[in-house]
Each structure stands twice: as C-alpha cells, then as structure tokens.
Structure 1
Amino acid sequence: MRTLPVLLTRPRADALRLADELRAAGVQRIEVSPLMRIVATGPLPELSGGIILTSGNAVDTYVELKGPKGLPTWTVGPRTADRARAAGLDVQGTAPDAEALGQAIPETAPPLMHLRGAVARGDLAVALRARGLTADEAVIYRQDGIALTAAAADLLRIGPVVVPLYSPRSAELFFQACPHTAYGNLRIIALSPAVASASPVPPVEQAETPDGSAMLRAVLRYFTTMDG
C-alpha cells in the first residue's frame, strides 16, 4: 500500500525535504504541488533583544532578510530550532506549539520580537506581555495561495490520495482548491487538533505532537496500518 500517492502541498522547500524523507521510508508515489508561496515582506524591525520564530518559514525569511546572527531565540518545534541554529542563532528554548512557548519563555528573557507571517493563529506577544515580559511582533512574510498542478488535480480525481496538512491556513487553501467531488478520495493527515478542525474531511491520522518529525511518523503510521 505504500504505492498509494501522497500529495504534498507545503511551500516547495519544505515539501521537497518531506518528499526525500518519505522516499527514504519506502513511499513510492509523491506529487509536490505547493499551495502556498512564502514571500518576504521585510525589512526586519530593529532587533535589540531576543527573537521568536514559530516556523521554518520564519527562519528562512529571517535569513533571506539578512537578520543578525547570535541573537537569543525561542522557537516552536525541534525542526525550527535546528534551522535556527543552522542560521547562527542562539536557541534558548523551544516548545511544541505557540501557546506552550508563551508559558515556557522565562521572565528573565530580554525584550522579544515575534517575527511571523501575515496569517497566524493566536497572539503570542500579547500572551507574553500578560506575563509581564516585554514583547512585540512584526510580520516579515506573507503566505500567497497557488493553484494545484494539473498532476495533483488528476490524483484527487482518480482515487485515494494521502494529504498531510500542517496548518489551518494550509487546510483552508487545500479545501478551496479541492473539488467537493474528490472529498471521498482524501486521506488527511493532520498536524494538530486545530488543523483537524479546519478540515471538512475527518483525518485518518493526527501527529502525536505538532512538529515535523511527528507528522512524518503519522504518515508512515497510516501506511503501516494499510499494510497490516
């Protein structure tokens, strides 16, 4: 059953990384059709303390905008932390989601700037200020929608297809692009309860924790269930 196709709709760089991991695990059919293009909107604000990066897209945009290295940094998810370290940032801590990070950052942290996309859930800076920390936010990129490729549209029409969804925004874009007549073909893998709630098709699997490694395991777990 690992011949069942997987449709990856993440921004291209993330989708290609995931495709490599899936192929290494024996998944044979993968179609990459990004539904979101990350566009830097910069410039960066003045950074006098620490920064918060809640996604790999934020890290990549920070690097693209030539952000300074060495700043104390807090992240969501271990993969974001790894990318931040690779970018030369001093990762002080990480948490599985933004809500948890808002409670995990210590009161001794320097003034913080949350560098985020135009579409985001919650308000991390407000949560930190409510705890007495100095925190602000700046939008440094936007998430533009892209149409499905013809090959992806064919997969949805022809038969069952596994679709990992990583955010409520990606779920929204996907179901805007996916015809209702194809809903019965979808095998949705959701990153989190928030993503599951944004999907009109109930997920067949959900990641144990909201991070990339857990999502990879969730996709492979579904294939193992089908193989069993």
Structure 2
Amino acid sequence: MAPTDPVLLLTRPEHRSRAFVEICRTRGFAGPVIIDPIIEIVPCPLDMPLDDVPGLILTSTSAVEAVAGHDLRGRRAWAVGERTTQAARAAGMECSFGGADANALVAHLSRERPGGPLLHLRGRHARGDVAERLAAAGVPTHSVVVYDQRDRALGPAAREALDGPNPVILPLFSPRSAALVAGQVGEVRAPLEVVAMSDAVASAWTGSGRLQVAGMPTAAAMAEEVERICDG
C-alpha cells in the first residue's frame, strides 16, 4: 500500500459491505478495504403468524432475511430502497418500491391508502416511527421486531488504519452505526473522510474528520462520493 492510498473502512454487516465494495470497484476504486461490522444482525423469533396479514412494510433487507423461513409468495408488500424491494421480490412477494427513505414511504402509503392493517417488519432499533405515522394518517399499521442489531467492537485492523498515515474513507449508512463508530474511535490520526448516507446519519456523527452527505440515500450515491474523494 502506497503512503497516500486511501483505505475504505466499512462497518456494515459483512455481505452488505461486500456488495458495496463491488459497486465501488466498478467505479474505479482500487485501494485496500477493511470490513469490520459495528453491528451484528440477529433474527428474532416471530411469535405471530403472517398468513393473515394483508400487507407488509419492509425498511431493510435484514427484515426480508429475518422472515426467510415463512412462505410469503404472492404477499403484498412495500419497501424502502431498491435493494430491499428487489430482495422482497426475490423472496416471492409482490413488492412495490415505496421510496428511498422512511419519509417517502410514509408519504407514498398515505396517498395510496391500501387496505390494511399493514405490518411493519422492523429491527429492535428503528427510526422513523413508520407504523405510528401511518396509523395517524388513517392507514392502520402495526409493527413487529423481527431482528436485533447488536453492538460490536471495532477490531485491530480498523483501529490500526484509523491511527495510521493513510487517508481513511468511512461510509456510514445509518444513524446508529454513525453513533457507535464515533463513540469508539474518538480522535484519529489518519486523515478521515466520512460519507453519510443522509442528514440524519450526519447528525449522529460526533467524531472527527471531514463530513459529507451523499446526494441520495442509496448505495450508488455513496459509491459516487467515494469516487469523488479518491479523484480529489
């Protein structure tokens, strides 16, 4: 590794980090990559049947993966983001793209007003109050926790990079991961470029470094920011 090669430090779950690396590679990123998830996704037992639920709301691919053992073929669903929409369709659901973020999804369903009640499959740590806001808008919606997001400590490779001489590019995809990483790293020696997926993620970052927000809350827009940083 040359003294000025930027290091891409990814703290998403392993498979999502690898998918993001592939996007960055297609855009020309050739530098070293460290994958060190700050959160472990753990499915939670679902103590209710999904057979009679008219429609599902999915705000992450983790929710789709958590209910993989249920037969949801043909089930009506609405999802946040293209990747979650595609994952739900791959699982056999009749899933519509509801928007790029939770606010867009709530606005979309408030206009569409599908027959309910709807069920939001979510993580234990969730933002956006999707079910509550939809219910207040007249769309009966409940929520159930289908996965947990457990904190993890950053490993030695990540800490070594942050204390080293090379620039580090740190994409952050959720407010919780931003807060967790900031709480663990404090001040760093490496020149640090933080890329936040949204304003909410940026607000949760309390660490050092130069902070920028992606133009859209998508992996493609995040990869575009990585490319822009590398191009100087």
1:53 and 1:73 in contact (8 A); partners too: yes
User: 1:184, CA displacement in angstroms?
Assistant: 6.2
Whether 2:19 is the aligned partner of 1:14: answer no
1:190 and 1:205 in contact (8 A); partners too: yes
Alignment of 1:19-168 (within 5 A): 19-27=21-29, 28-43=31-46, 45-47=48-50, 48-63=53-68, 65-105=69-109, 106-159=112-165, 160-168=167-175
Q: Can you list the C-alpha shifts for 1:153-184, whole angstroms capped at 9, x where unaligned?
A: 10000032000000001101111221x23076
**3-state secondary structure, aligned to 1:93:** strand
Which deviates more, 180-189 or 104-113?
180-189
User: 1:12, CA displacement in angstroms?
Assistant: 0.9
Unaligned runs of 5+ in 1: none
In 2: Cα distance, 1:152 partner to 1:123 partner: 33
Whether 2:200 is the aligned partner of 1:194: answer yes
In 2: Cα distance, 1:214 partner to 1:41 partner: 31
Aligned-residue RMSD, C-alpha:
1.9
User: 1:218, CA displacement in angstroms?
Assistant: 1.9
Code of the aligned partner of 2:64: V
In 1: Cα distance, 2:65 partner to 2:173 partner: 17
Unaligned runs of 5+ in 2: none
Q: Which residue in 2 is equivalent to 1:172?
A: 179
Code of the aligned partner of 1:189: V
In 1: Cα distance, 2:34 partner to 2:188 partner: 16
**3-state secondary structure, aligned to 1:182:** coil
User: 1:30, CA displacement in angstroms?
Assistant: 0.7
1:44 and 1:67 in contact (8 A); partners too: no
User: 1:67, CA displacement in angstroms?
Assistant: 4.7
Whether 2:227 is the aligned partner of 1:220: answer yes
| TM-score between the two structures when normalised by the length of structure 2 | 0.89
Greater fraction of residues in helix: 1
Count of matched residue positions in the alignment of Structure 1 and Structure 2: 223
User: 1:97, CA displacement in angstroms?
Assistant: 1.0
Structure 1 runs, 4 residues or longer, greater than 3 Å off? 201-204
In 2: Cα distance, 1:168 partner to 1:90 partner: 29
Q: Which residue in 2 is equivalent to 1:4?
A: 6
In 2: Cα distance, 1:133 partner to 1:217 partner: 36
**3-state secondary structure, aligned to 1:195:** helix
User: CA 1:132/1:202 → structure 2, altered by over 3 Å: closer, same or farther?
Assistant: farther
2:85 and 2:96 in contact (8 A); partners too: no
In 1: Cα distance, 2:215 partner to 2:67 partner: 28
User: CA 1:203/1:76 → structure 2, altered by over 3 Å: closer, same or farther?
Assistant: farther
Percentage of identical aligned residues: 35
In 2: Cα distance, 1:74 partner to 1:183 partner: 43
In 2: Cα distance, 1:52 partner to 1:154 partner: 40
